[in-house]
Amino acid sequence: MENQYKLPMMNAFTSFIDDTYHKISETLPCAHHTEIATLRKRAIDYFVREQLPHNKIESWRHRAIDQLVEDKYSIQLTPTPYRPVEDYFKCKIHNIDTYMFTFLNGWYVHKNTPLTIFPNGIIVGSLTAAIEQYPDLVLPHLAASRTDNYDSLVALNEALFYDGLFVYIPENLEVQKPMQLVSIIDSKENLLVQQRNLIVVGKNSSFSLVQCDDSIAFGKTFLNNVTEIFLEENTHFNYYKMENKDPDSLLINQVFVQQKKNSQFFSNTTTFNAGYVRNSLRVKLLEPFASAKLWGIYLVDKQQYVDNQIFVDHAAPDCTSSQLYKGIADDMAGANFNGHVIVREGAQRTNAFQTNRNIALTDEAKITTKPFLEIYADDVKCSHGATIGQLDEEAMFYLRSRGICERNAKMLLMYAFAIEIANAIEIDSLRNRLKEMIKKRLSGELTICDQCVLHCAQDKQITFEIDLSKI
């Protein structure tokens, strides 16, 4: 009997990816590893069959990416010749002391040390170098979450990734000094970047990671990043993410987290500027007493768009999760929040809460939100809520009646709305800096420039022109 299944006709982008893969697959990093070659082959077959997500898929119905990509992109197959990062990029969050690891156009920037091995056993650096030197640490985890969290964008990343950050924290370590991952795009070409990050935290260990996505040169770049995080028993991991991209960029960040017993995961994401950003965060609580706290703030204007997709899987009893996402959209900007919590059968005594609050400053700003609970256990405490509104008129009247001009009154209300997310950051210098950046963004002064205003050491301090004694 003839097979009735027919592959869909390939669009221009899919044809480009298929052709590119078959031209460069043997020259991609780690191509000689059987496991990696098999992973890539399965991935390209899946991507060609499924192609890019479209608006017939529920989670993409508001703004699908298949209409936004270019037909062709450049792929940087080799790293840029080494030169110190300070020569072309200033990254300085005031008074924060971190181990900084930089990626330029998807490649790890280093002189001749692709991996840093600390005396206490911590390993940090290039993922592809780690595959070569420590395959027993990398391969059991790489793409381990693909069976139940797979889509065509993950497949695209697996087929063509060429580098990324690898972090391995051994057991029984409390890492006091945060790590900082800075991903920079500096190209006038339309780049396609597939960065793959892998973070493994051993039992009874803790550390914090600050991740920044920045641009130097403008271009219609397509960044499709995948990060996998594995937290063993009694671990504590803080994940702070800041996004400040140029208006023509497409940024897809997919983060997969697996947590074991008594592990604690805190995610705090701030989107300042975006052409098109989609943050997908999927957390699986595998064993009892694991907890996940997922917070975020997005501030968009003009025609920018940000989409946050949050999925929390309570697969074990006695686990806790909380979500708090806030957004402000101005001009003709758009934002979407899709929060999904599933409580599996047997996951008794689950506590799960999700909240999404939004402010639309104009009638043209489009915000959609869909918090969703799916519960198959009967001994649980779960709630969800969402709001979309404008600035509080009574609060505005109160401030105006005390001599505060309309502009500053609006700024104060927006700042009070947004600052709750920043206040949850445990790193003092990062928290204070983020507050200043929020002030800049709300006043319209935080934009992309050729030295990244996010972290520029010379930028001026922003203050509200308000006499607080009048309040």
CA distances from 102 to 199, 211, 216 (A): 16, 10, 14
The 8-class DSSP code of residue 274 comes to: -
Tracing tokens 């790590």 back to the chain, one arrives at 179
Report the alpha-carbon distance of residue 287 to residue 12 in Å, rounded. Answer: 44
- H or E element in which residue 168 lies: strand 165-169
Report the alpha-carbon distance of residue 14 to residue 267 in Å, rounded. Answer: 33
**pLDDT tens-place string over residues 107-128:** 999 988 999 999 999 999 999 9
* Phi, psi of 408, deg, nearest 5: -70, -35
Asked whether 254 and 284 are in contact (CB, 8 A), the reply is no
Amino acid at 437: M
Provide the pLDDT for residue 321.
Answer: 97
- H or E element in which residue 456 lies: none
Asked whether 193 and 105 are in contact (CB, 8 A), the reply is yes
Euclidean distance between the first and final Cα of the chain, in Å? 80
Provide the pLDDT for residue 91.
Answer: 56
Structure tokens at 447: 């934009």
pTM of the model: 0.89
Amino acid at 225: N
User: In this structure, how many other beta carbons lie within 10 angstroms of the beta carbon of residue 176?
Assistant: 9
Residues of the chain with pLDDT under 50: 1-7, 92, 446-471
The 8-class DSSP code of residue 433 comes to: H
Provide the pLDDT for residue 175.
Answer: 94
Nearest to 210 by CA among 96, 70, 80, 82: 96
Provide the pLDDT for residue 144.
Answer: 67
Provide the pLDDT for residue 64.
Answer: 83
Asked whether 43 and 181 are in contact (CB, 8 A), the reply is no
CA torsion 393-399-402-406 (nearest 10°) is -90
Asked whether 471 and 402 are in contact (CB, 8 A), the reply is yes
* Phi, psi of 337, deg, nearest 5: -125, 130
Amino acid at 133: Q
Structure tokens at 211: 């991740």
Q: How many residues comprise the chain?
A: 471
Report the alpha-carbon distance of residue 244 to residue 164 in Å, rounded. Answer: 19
DSSP symbols for 329-341: E-TT-EEEEEEEE
Three-state SS at 230: strand
